[in-house]
């Protein structure tokens, strides 16, 4: 079976011949450019600058030679523009990072620093306006710069929070057709984030890609609004969902079933030991809209739907199932209540766990190679039974993770699959 067939078998909760492995197919299952360069060097691959595929988090493009060397089964179909609001496509340019690595970045990637020497990013790459994101000198990725305007509730209009959600253009449809065709030609499973379905994803709320974002754009203000301005949020989600489904209809007519997984939403509902809202609030404010998107997908396509939520969300798992999600990520096994054995036994018939392979807060960055190997083997044993498991780390692999730990993780996946 090729990689796509293995993924489809996994998603249908049939145990595949080996573990399906993802590293780099999306903005929540990727690897930092620094860690990626170290990994390429370890495997003796051609020395060349790593391409930044997602500049906000400085994630790198995992190229075909590394995919084959380590056995990756899933690729991403990436959007034309990035989170910072400018084209992510070639031509590219060289950029030297604060940590001394030369990488390939889009032409509009900024090289402007502020008075503290921190790197600034500008919406749509337009340096004539205020910056929307900043990478501190000591950091390895960008942080949003909040540009929340004073809120006058008497003049607060839902349209202001819908600025970035627009009907898909003919040019974008053609882009997706070409991008998906390239991804499908690899013979691997394909994940695509087609946009428009991110209901309150806090990474997107500040609108770092917008020149002058209006509406509710502060993080604290957004969370308060889910309690104080419920009617506003519901109208926003209702209109956003309607447009998203219209766009998905047009995109589906263009690409058909050439993708396997639709990345629906990255809204986090969990902290390390609790949730951001009560389950009843989720039922009222998010569940109906997720159901509408997932119902359309399942009625009209063969796609599986992917939900990302960090944190202690065990008590939301049943609700994710009710919402119609097929896949949950990143499976933060270190959070309260997120015991792998309990998750698999309780929800494994209904959800595919895409992640949870190894703890990225402690084990992968700070553990010994033996600790990494043991945890990977243990989690593969628990999650892989009867399918419904794609190996990925708990969120992205960060910059300074020891390459030896990443390599032993990869070797342990192969070791486990070799025993099947």
DSSP 328-367: EE---TTSTT--HHHHHHHHTTT-EEE--SS-TTTHHHHS
Q: Which of 237, 201, 232 is nearest to 219 (CA)?
A: 201
Q: In the structure encoding, which two tokens stand for residue 412, read together? A: 């342990």
Side-by-side strand order, sheet with 261-265: 20-21, 389-391, 352-354, 327-329, 304-308, 261-265, 189-192, 74-77
SS3 284: helix
Whether residue 355 contacts residue 392, with contact meaning beta carbons closer than 8 Å, is answered with yes
Q: What is the mean pLDDT of the chain?
A: 97
Q: In the structure encoding, which two tokens stand for residue 216, read together? A: 């509710």
Number of H helices, E strands in the chain: 13, 15
Q: What integer pLDDT is reported at residue 419 of this predicted model?
A: 65
Compute the residue count for the chain.
Answer: 420
DSSP designation for 31 = B
Whether residue 178 contacts residue 254, with contact meaning beta carbons closer than 8 Å, is answered with no
Written in H, E and C, the secondary structure of 214-274 is CCCCCHHHHHHHHHHCHHHHHHHHHHHHHHHHHHHHHHHHHHCCCCCEEEEECCCCECCCC
Whether residue 355 contacts residue 292, with contact meaning beta carbons closer than 8 Å, is answered with no
SS3 162: helix
15-31 mean pLDDT = 97
Among all chains, which residue has been given the structure tokens 């990727």?
A: 30
78-91 mean pLDDT = 97
Residues 156-166 have pLDDT tens digits of 999 999 999 99
Confidence of residue 240 (pLDDT cuts 50, 70, 90): very high
Residue 415 CA to residue 248 CA, distance in Å, equals 40
Confidence of residue 13 (pLDDT cuts 50, 70, 90): very high
How many other CB atoms are there within 10 angstroms of residue 300's CB atom?
13
Q: Where do the H-state alpha helices sit in 113-208?
A: 170-184
Residue 114 CA to residue 96 CA, distance in Å, equals 17
Residue 375 CA to residue 316 CA, distance in Å, equals 25
Residues 353-363 have pLDDT tens digits of 999 999 999 99
Is it the case that residue 42 has pLDDT exceeding 70?
yes
DSSP bridge pairs for 397: 31
Is it the case that residue 398 has pLDDT exceeding 70?
yes
67-92 mean pLDDT = 97
Q: What integer pLDDT is reported at residue 418 of this predicted model?
A: 86
Q: In the structure encoding, which two tokens stand for residue 13, read together? A: 């909760």
As a dihedral over the C-alpha atoms of residue 248, residue 388, residue 316, residue 338, rounded to 10 degrees, the angle is -140
103-125 mean pLDDT = 97
Residue 118 CA to residue 96 CA, distance in Å, equals 14
185-189 mean pLDDT = 98
> Which CATH number does 3-34+62-81+151-418 carry?
3.20.20.210
Is it the case that residue 420 has pLDDT exceeding 70?
no
Is it the case that residue 67 has pLDDT exceeding 70?
yes
Is it the case that residue 32 has pLDDT exceeding 80?
yes
123-127 mean pLDDT = 95
Residues 278-321 have pLDDT tens digits of 999 999 999 999 999 999 999 999 999 999 999 999 999 999 99
Burial 141-150 (b: 16+ CB within 10 A, else e): bbebebbbee
319-346 mean pLDDT = 98
Residue 358 CA to residue 333 CA, distance in Å, equals 8
């Amino acid at each position: 079976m090729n990689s796509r067939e293995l993924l489809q078998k996994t998603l249908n909760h049939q145990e595949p011949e080996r573990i399906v492995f993802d590293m780099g197919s999306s903005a929540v299952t990727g690897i930092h450019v620094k860690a990626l360069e170290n990994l390429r060097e370890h495997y003796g691959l051609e020395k060349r600058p790593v391409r930044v595929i997602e500049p906000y988090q400085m994630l790198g493009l995992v190229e075909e030679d590394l995919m084959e060397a380590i056995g990756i089964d899933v690729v991403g179909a990436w959007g034309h523009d990035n989170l910072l609001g400018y084209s992510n496509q070639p031509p590219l340019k060289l950029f030297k990072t604060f940590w001394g690595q030369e990488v390939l970045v889009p032409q509009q990637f900024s090289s402007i620093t502020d008075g503290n020497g921190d790197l600034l990013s500008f919406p749509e790459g337009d340096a004539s306006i205020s910056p929307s994101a900043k990478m501190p000198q000591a950091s390895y990725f960008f942080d949003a710069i909040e540009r929340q305007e004073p809120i006058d509730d008497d003049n607060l209009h839902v349209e202001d929070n819908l600025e970035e959600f627009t009907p898909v253009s003919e040019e974008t449809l053609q882009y997706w057709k070409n991008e998906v065709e390239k991804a499908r030609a690899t013979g691997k499973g394909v994940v695509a984030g087609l946009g428009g379905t991110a209901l309150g994803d806090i990474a997107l709320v500040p609108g770092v890609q917008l020149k002058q974002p209006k509406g509710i754009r502060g993080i604290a203000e957004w969370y308060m609004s889910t309690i104080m301005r419920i009617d506003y949020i519901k109208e926003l989600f209702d209109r956003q969902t309607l447009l998203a489904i219209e766009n998905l209809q047009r995109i589906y007519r263009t690409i058909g079933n050439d993708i396997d997984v639709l990345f629906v939403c990255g809204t986090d509902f969990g902290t390390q030991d609790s949730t951001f809202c009560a389950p009843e609030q989720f039922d009222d404010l998010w569940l109906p809209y997720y159901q509408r998107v997932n119902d359309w997908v399942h009625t009209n396509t063969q796609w599986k739907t992917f939900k990302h939520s960090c944190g202690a969300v065990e008590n939301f798992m049943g609700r994710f199932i009710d919402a119609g999600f097929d896949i949950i990520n990143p499976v933060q096994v270190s959070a309260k209540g997120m015991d792998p054995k309990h998750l698999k036994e309780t929800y494994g018939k209904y959800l595919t766990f895409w992640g949870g392979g190894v703890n990225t807060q402690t084990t992968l960055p700070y553990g010994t190679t033996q600790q990494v190997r043991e945890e990977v083997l243990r989690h593969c044993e628990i999650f892989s039974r009867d399918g419904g498991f794609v190996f990925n780390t708990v969120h992205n692999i960060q910059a300074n993770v020891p390459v030896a730990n990443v390599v032993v993780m990869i070797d342990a996946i192969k070791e486990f699959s070799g025993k099947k």
